[in-house]
């Protein structure tokens, strides 16, 4: 939940505010700002595929554990996003800012090979429930981040936007540290299935259920 929240804070901040930043601070034409603002998400879409492939490749080779793969993908992505958002906050050249923001958002694609599929590692039979809970919490930045940005950016100055980038960087860094310390890629004890578990006993199996009396197919 914390990793998902952290990723979505920066994601929603830039998704909703990047065109405004490019227009007000970088002085891009609104049409050009819209096109350039979509570039980071195009890169992110590509990186999601690359990150998933690399994560599966590392797991299949067996040199590192699933936990290490998840932490590597997630923490490296968040670390790079932190650095490039700070770089964007201190850059004054429009082209450099665009590159930094594109790299920052693009590296977020690698994080999805970490926290996003981690539910399947720790509790595969409950993955849909866990993802629902995680995504509910991770939707909150979509409401909070634009409101905070609107409160901070009153005069549309570069210094005000620096604060917005600093906050997003701090959230990424906190998410990386927390995930790096506490995440796991192993099935949790509360999600283990006992070896003796069976839906139905073998002596209750039938070739067809047509001749089974009502209630006789229930499991013990």
Domain with residue 181: its CATH number is 1.20.1250.20
Q: Give residue 212's pLDDT.
A: 41
Per-residue pLDDT of the chain (220 residues; tens, 9 = 90+): 999 999 999 999 999 998 889 888 888 877 767 778 889 999 999 999 999 999 999 999 999 999 999 999 999 999 999 999 999 999 888 899 999 999 999 999 999 999 999 999 999 999 999 999 999 999 999 999 999 999 999 998 999 999 999 999 999 999 999 999 999 999 999 998 876 664 544 444 444 444 444 444 444 4
Q: Rounded to whole angstroms, how far apart are CA atoms 16 and 209?
A: 55
Residue 161: the pLDDT is 95
The sign of the dihedral angle between the CA atoms of 83, 88, 92, 96 is positive
Number of domains in the chain: 1
pLDDT at 32: 67
In a domain, 215, yes or no: no
Tell me, yes or no, whether 61 lies in a domain. yes
Contact by Cβ (8 Å): 6, 78? yes
Query: Would residue 213 count as lying in a domain?
Result: no
Domain assignment of residue 72, yes or no: yes
pLDDT value at residue 90? 92
**Could you give the CA distance from residue 3 to residue 13 in angstroms, rounded to a whole number?**
16
Residue 102: inside a domain: yes
pLDDT at 196: 62
Domain assignment present for 214 = no
Query: pLDDT at position 209, please?
Result: 41
Is 220 a domain residue?
no
Q: Which residue range forms the structural domain that includes residue 192?
A: 1-202
Residue 135 lies in a domain: yes
């Amino acid at each position: 939940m914390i990793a998902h929240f952290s990723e979505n804070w920066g994601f929603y901040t830039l998704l909703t505010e990047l065109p405004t930043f490019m227009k007000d601070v970088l002085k891009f034409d609104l049409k050009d700002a819209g096109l350039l603002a979509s570039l980071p998400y195009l890169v992110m879409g590509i990186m999601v595929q690359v990150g998933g492939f690399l994560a599966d490749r590392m797991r299949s080779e067996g040199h590192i554990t699933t936990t290490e793969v998840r932490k590597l993908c997630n923490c490296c992505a968040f670390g790079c996003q932190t650095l490039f958002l700070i770089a964007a906050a201190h850059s004054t050249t429009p082209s450099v800012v665009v590159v930094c923001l594109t790299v920052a958002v693009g590296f977020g694609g690698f994080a999805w090979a970490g926290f996003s599929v981690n539910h399947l590692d720790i509790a595969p039979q409950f993955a849909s429930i866990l993802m629902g809970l995680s995504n509910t919490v991770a939707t909150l930045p979509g409401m909070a981040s634009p409101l905070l940005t609107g409160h901070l950016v009153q005069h549309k100055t570069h210094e005000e936007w620096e604060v917005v980038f600093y906050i997003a960087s701090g959230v990424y860094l906190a998410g990386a540290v927390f995930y790096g310390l506490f995440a796991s890629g192993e099935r949790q004890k509360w999600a283990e299935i006992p070896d003796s578990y069976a839906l139905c006993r073998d002596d209750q199996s039938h070739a067809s259920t047509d001749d089974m009396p009502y209630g006789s197919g229930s499991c013990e």
